């Protein structure tokens, strides 16, 4: 019997799937829908005292389907909550969350003029005093943890973000450590691994137990008819984040002692499992819920449960970090490289005819080694380099490369 429960930052979560802060966690209605469809936790839309961030451009979401990047998203869906609205929302949703055993997590957008950190002007009272007071209020309203995001491509340039995070991280710990009775963690972007590693080290020194690693990649897409991007700030989300987010999760978890919440590019149960195998404890999603609807929570939980049953995993802990020994491992790479190195004749390409659908994808062979006859591939082993391209693009796994002889 599979138990999806996980421990994160000293809290028990009924499952590892979370609704990330965003439009889907901005109102009591959307929060209720996330929880009702299975989310084990909800990070309530972030609070920011700067009034302008509470404005909401309409439209503010630009999915990139028409530009050929299905599910990709560029957005300036600000609409951050006032402190009063966040307190009201958490207090209203607390009874329902408790009845469904779901965790409500308060959130702060810790960037902008209210922080008083460069490039912004100093403020009075200092930001740590304000952040502490606001966090205590969210705790009193019923928040079971606090998340603080201190990197965002919507308000700072890349160069400004580097210096800002270096100062913001210790300030957040000064504001909250020992002053609230619930756990807190920082949410940082993985736009550049060198600076991310620096910030991870800072959090470890300060005694952090957890982190939320999310996308802070600066990207752009164009409508070539107008030669303009949907959004002039180069910040995006979507399925394309899968690879970078997996590596960022590994960096965040491997050898740090930190529990990791990860978001960005999680669009299926396979994505969630993959991220956990890289080292994450919680997998959070937001933009795919806007694209596909709240049902995605149930689909991910069902798919994950069935996968775990098939593999014999009793709990998520059996999967977390499973891939870590094989990531960023030059020694393993060289061993595999040398084992597979050799002339083309040392391997052969096999076709399992009963599996072949006749789709013809394999004739893309750049060496001219594959031709189609009566909807079946004919393989010229003299021309074939055993490079593996046809094997990996075959949708039915009809092709394989094995030792010759």
Q: Does 237 share its domain with 383?
A: no
Which candidate, 141, 142, 128, 213, places its Cα nearest to that of 178? 128
Whether residue 302 has a cis bond before it, omega within 30° of 0: no
> Among the three residues 326, 353, 379, which one is the final residue of a domain in this structure?
326
pTM flag (> 0.85)? yes
Residue 280 is predicted with a pLDDT of 98
Task: DSSP for 119-188, please give it.
Answer: TSPP-SS-HHHHHHHHHHHHHHHT-SEEEEE---TTTS-HHHHHHHHHHHHHHHHHHHTTT-SS-EEEEE
CA distance 253 to 279: 5
Q: Which two tokens stand for residue 292?
A: 């596909």
Q: Does 174 share its domain with 50?
A: yes
Q: Does 348 share its domain with 380?
A: yes
> Among the three residues 265, 292, 326, which one is the final residue of a domain in this structure?
326
CA distance 379 to 123: 72
Q: Does 88 share its domain with 15?
A: yes
pLDDT per residue as tens digits for the range 178-213: 999 999 999 998 877 888 899 999 999 999 999 999
Radius of gyration (C-alpha) of the chain in whole angstroms: 24
Question: The domain that contains 372 carries what CATH number?
Answer: 3.30.70.20
The one-digit pLDDT tens for each residue of the chain (405 residues) are 899 999 999 999 999 999 999 999 999 999 999 999 999 999 999 999 999 889 888 888 889 999 999 999 988 767 899 999 999 999 999 999 999 999 999 999 999 999 999 999 999 999 999 999 999 999 999 999 999 998 876 677 778 888 899 999 999 999 999 999 999 999 998 877 888 899 999 999 999 999 999 987 788 999 999 999 988 877 788 889 999 999 999 999 999 999 999 999 999 999 999 999 999 999 999 999 999 999 999 999 999 999 999 999 999 999 999 999 999 999 999 998 898 899 999 999 999 999 999 999 999 999 999 999 999 999 999 999 999 999 999 999 999 999 997
> Would residue 335 count as lying in a domain?
no
Q: Does 321 share its domain with 254?
A: yes
Q: Which two tokens stand for residue 174?
A: 């000064």
Question: What b-and-e string marks burial along 223-261, b requiring 16 or more CB atoms within 10 Å of the CB?
Answer: eeeeeebbbebebbbbbbbbebbbebbbbbbbebebbbb
> Would residue 337 count as lying in a domain?
no
Q: What percent of the chain has pLDDT over 70?
A: 99
Question: The domain that contains 199 carries what CATH number?
Answer: 3.20.20.70
| Structural domains of the chain, count | 2
> Would residue 334 count as lying in a domain?
no
Q: Does 321 share its domain with 399?
A: no
> Would residue 331 count as lying in a domain?
no
Q: Does 321 share its domain with 397?
A: no
Which candidate, 134, 111, 95, 98, places its Cα nearest to that of 52? 111
Q: What is the domain range of residue 351?
A: 342-403
Q: Which two tokens stand for residue 397?
A: 């796994």
Q: Does 99 share its domain with 182?
A: yes
Residue 29: alpha-carbon gap to chain centroid? 24
CA terminus-to-terminus distance, the chain: 45
């Amino acid at each position: 019997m599979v138990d999806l429960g996980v421990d994160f930052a000293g809290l028990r979560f009924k499952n590892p799937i979370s609704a990330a802060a965003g439009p889907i966690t901005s109102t009591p209605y959307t929060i209720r829908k996330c929880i009702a469809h299975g989310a084990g936790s909800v990070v309530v839309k972030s609070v920011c005292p700067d009034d302008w961030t509470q404005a909401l451009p309409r439209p503010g979401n630009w999915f990139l389907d028409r530009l050929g990047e299905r599910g990709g998203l560029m957005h300036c869906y600000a609409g951050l909550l006032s402190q009063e609205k966040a307190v009201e929302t958490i207090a209203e949703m607390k009874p329902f969350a408790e009845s469904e055993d779901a965790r409500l997590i308060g959130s702060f957008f810790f960037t902008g003029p209210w922080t008083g950190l460069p490039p912004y002007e100093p403020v009075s009272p200092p930001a740590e005093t304000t952040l502490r007071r606001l966090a205590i209020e969210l705790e009193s309203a019923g928040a079971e943890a606090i998340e603080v995001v201190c990197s965002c491509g919507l308000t700072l340039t890349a160069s400004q973000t580097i210096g800002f995070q270096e100062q913001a991280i210790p300030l957040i710990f000064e504001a909250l450590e020992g002053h609230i009775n619930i756990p807190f963690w920082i949410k940082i972007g993985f736009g550049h691994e060198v600076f991310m590693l620096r910030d991870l080290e800072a959090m470890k020194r300060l005694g952090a137990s957890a982190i939320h690693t999310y996308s802070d990649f600066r990207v752009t897409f164009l409508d070539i008819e107008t030669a303009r991007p949907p959004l002039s700030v180069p910040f995006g989300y979507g399925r394309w984040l899968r690879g970078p987010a997996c590596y960022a999760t590994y960096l965040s978890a491997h050898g740090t002692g930190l529990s990791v919440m990860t978001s960005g590019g999680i669009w299926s149960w396979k994505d969630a499992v993959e991220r956990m195998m890289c080292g994450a404890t919680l997998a959070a999603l937001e933009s795919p819920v806007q694209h596909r609807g709240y049902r995605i929570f149930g689909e991910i939980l069902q798919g994950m449960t069935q996968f775990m049953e098939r593999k014999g995993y009793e709990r998520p802990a059996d999967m977390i970090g499973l891939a870590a020994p094989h990531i960023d491992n030059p020694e393993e790479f060289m061993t595999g490289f040398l084992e597979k190195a050799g002339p083309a004749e040392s391997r052969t390409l096999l076709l399992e005819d009963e599996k072949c659908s006749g789709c013809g994808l394999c004739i893309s062979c750049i060496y001219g080694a594959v031709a189609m006859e009566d909807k079946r591939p004919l393989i010229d082993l003299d021309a074939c380099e055993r490079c593996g391209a046809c094997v990996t693009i075959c949708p039915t796994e009809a092709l394989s490369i094995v030792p010759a002889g």
